[in-house]
Amino acid sequence: MNKDELERKVAGLRRELARAESELSALGGTQPPAEVGFLDLFELDEIQAIQDAFAAATGVASIITTPDGEPITEPSNFSRLCSNIIRKTEKGLCNCRRSDAVLGRLNPRGATIQPCLSSGLWDGGASISVDGRHIANWLVGQVRNEHVDKENALAYAREIGADEVDFIRAYEEVTVMPLERFKAVGRALFLLANQMSWIAYQNLMLADHIREIQAAHREVLTLRNYLSNIIDSMPSLVVGVDAEGRITHWNMRAVAATGYEQNEVEGRLLVDVMPDLGMELSRVSSAIAQGAPAIRERVPSEVDGERRYRDVSVYPLVANGVKGAVVRVDDITEKVRIEEMMIQSEKMVSVGGLAAGMAHEINNPLAAILGNARLLRKRLLEESRRNRRTAEECGTDLDRVVDYVRARGVDAMLDAVIESGERAGRVVTNMLGFSRKTDGEARDEDVAGILDKAAELVRSGHDLEHSYNFKDIAFDREYGEGPFPVRCDASRLEQVFFNILNNGAQAMTFAMKETGREPRFVLRCHRVDGAIRVEIEDNGPGMSEEVRRRVFEPFFTTKKAGVGTGLGMSVSYFIVTELLGGTMRAESGPDRGATFVIEIPASGER
């Protein structure tokens, strides 16, 4: 390469570097970060190999330093004079580094060629920059030519305190090179330094792009984790599938429902993992084709022998040209049960109103029947002046009338009418008291009396399906010394006792044909440590441990559909524990009957 070609090459590199810097400025990257250094942009081993090859090819010493002269690479082809003599002295090392810094100063016009500021040997240097910032010096030299003054060299040896004999010997070993040839090496060095500046710029741009990509990747991961956490936090079971029904996403609710982790089901057919959702595959295709969600509400299913309901929704999904759908499953069993309970509650309100109305209507003729029956007995059997006078006026006497009435059993009939009428009156009174809305005011009430009223109310009921009258159930009472006062709303406590007795009565009568036992309740009431303790024991079929643990759960029932709502015992538990500040538990076992134990603070104890 001749001089003109070399100058054209240098000019071309300058233009490329200026254009690159202009582009970087337009992108907003006018300056690299201040902490970016030479070794952040280059691999040291690769640069060391290039430097060693350049030194070997040109016959000059070579090293790359920081802008202030600190070595970055290991010296290549250094002379003994510089490395083992001059730089071994404190002053010589200081002068060498100062000279290196001057030689490598930023010079966009070309390499700096000049005698060393210390030894007088010829050195050269070119700067390496990135985006206009000086990051390194590439230094060459340690050669002598006809312009080097040997006497000045000896004087410098004396100045730095080096051995003059050894200094001269090392001096004579230094490579001799014509100045013109050394300048040609300098021009080649400048080209290489500019090329390295261009590479440094490209590496910086690449590093910027990598940082942007890494930041974008972190942002994508953060967003993905955020969205995944949102989906996993949903109470719904969410499954993503492709157009063929293969699983692409699987949230934590699905993991909990099936026991399969995401990596275990990804790519598998939904019908293989969740067969009960297999029928939804056709709806997936339909939803994708129509671009509209497909929703099925109140889909029934059996889970561990329990009937449950769910809403199944299929939403079409198109992502990056890949068609698929999201299947969402919501368990609405509790919602359905609450709705059914509300409907049942409305029915019970209507029935209660009807019963109250009927009770009032029955009370009127019942009062007339009882009144006339008592009056009839009084006029036929009671000794009085008016009865005797009326009998005499009719041509007989009262004694004969009484004898006739008793002989014909009319007195017993009247007693039976009166007794039946009074029993019917008590049933009507209890029914009115149970259906009547409470005023919510707590008073001191006798627990034994409330328990007796609840028992009487249960005895008046009957089981239509089994044609069995609850009045045939025996009640044994084991009451301690009363009274048993508690501060409560009597109607609410009566509701608790009624629910327990009614459930027990149904259980005993249903099981009577199998067990052969005559249904019997044992009612106990006594004081225990400042509380009134009530025990209601039956001789029914009892409960398994699983049923006993869940007996107070809302909506839990062992009765078949239409017989119970599963709310009676939970409401009773709420009344005792929350409203009355007491405790309530069940003791039972299979074929051992059941005992419900209730303890309520006695009046004045709370």
pLDDT value for 352: 56
pLDDT-derived band at 201 (thresholds 50, 70, 90) equals confident
- Both tokens assigned to 436: 């009547």
pLDDT value for 466: 47
In whole angstroms, give the CA distance from residue 527 to residue 507: 29
pLDDT tens digits along 489-528: 888 888 889 888 888 888 887 777 776 778 889 999 998 8
pLDDT value for 281: 66
Stretch 47-75: mean pLDDT: 90
| Range with lowest mean pLDDT among 139-143, 415-419, 441-445, 586-590 | 441-445
Q: What residues contact residue 529 under an 8 Å CB cut-off, 6+ apart?
A: none
In whole angstroms, give the CA distance from residue 143 to residue 120: 9
pLDDT value for 596: 92
pLDDT-derived band at 378 (thresholds 50, 70, 90) equals confident
pLDDT tens digits along 310-343: 888 888 876 666 678 888 888 888 777 676 656 5
pLDDT value for 480: 87
The alpha-carbon radius of gyration of the chain (Å, integer) is 54
pLDDT value for 522: 92
CA proximity to 545, closest of 587, 499, 596? 587
CA proximity to 221, closest of 233, 229, 209? 229
Q: What residues contact residue 120 under an 8 Å CB cut-off, 6+ apart?
A: 148, 149, 152, 153, 156
Other C-beta atoms lying within 10 Å of the C-beta of residue 488: 26
pLDDT surpassing 90 at residue 74: yes
pLDDT surpassing 90 at residue 124: no
| Range with lowest mean pLDDT among 63-72, 119-128, 467-476 | 467-476
In what helix (H) or strand (E) does residue 528 lie, and over which residues does it extend?
strand 520-528
Q: Are strands 531-538 and 594-601 parallel, antiparallel or unpaired?
A: antiparallel
Q: What residues contact residue 232 under an 8 Å CB cut-off, 6+ apart?
A: 251, 252, 253
Helix, strand, coil percent content, the chain, rounded in steps of 5: 55, 20, 25
pLDDT tens digits along 245-275: 888 888 888 888 888 898 888 888 888 888 7
User: Alpha carbon of 589 to those of 512, 515, 544: distances in Å?
Assistant: 17, 15, 6
Computed over every residue of the chain, the mean pLDDT equals 79
Higher pLDDT, 569 or 128: 128
pLDDT-derived band at 544 (thresholds 50, 70, 90) equals confident
pLDDT surpassing 90 at residue 49: yes
In whole angstroms, give the CA distance from residue 360 to residue 455: 22
Residue 346 CA, distance from chain mean position:
37
Residue 294 CA, distance from chain mean position:
27
Stretch 176-187: mean pLDDT: 89
Quick one: angle between helices 164-173 and 150-160, nearest 10? Answer: 130
pLDDT value for 13: 47
Residue 353 CA, distance from chain mean position:
46
Any bridge partners for residue 65, and if so which?
A: 71, 137
CA proximity to 455, closest of 530, 534, 394, 382? 534
pLDDT value for 29: 43
Stretch 60-87: mean pLDDT: 87
pLDDT tens digits along 416-465: 888 888 777 766 665 565 555 555 567 888 999 999 988 888 777 655 44
Higher pLDDT, 106 or 436: 106
pLDDT tens digits along 208-227: 888 888 888 888 888 878 87
pLDDT tens digits along 394-422: 888 888 888 888 888 888 888 888 888 87
| Range with lowest mean pLDDT among 79-83, 145-149, 545-549, 574-578 | 145-149
pLDDT value for 606: 53
pLDDT surpassing 70 at residue 123: yes
In whole angstroms, give the CA distance from residue 40 to residue 137: 15
In whole angstroms, give the CA distance from residue 258 to residue 262: 11
- The type of residue at 466 is H
pLDDT value for 440: 55
User: What torsion, rounded to 10 degrees, do the Cα atoms 408, 412, 416, 418 define?
Assistant: 100
pLDDT tens digits along 275-311: 777 666 677 677 777 777 878 888 787 777 667 888 8
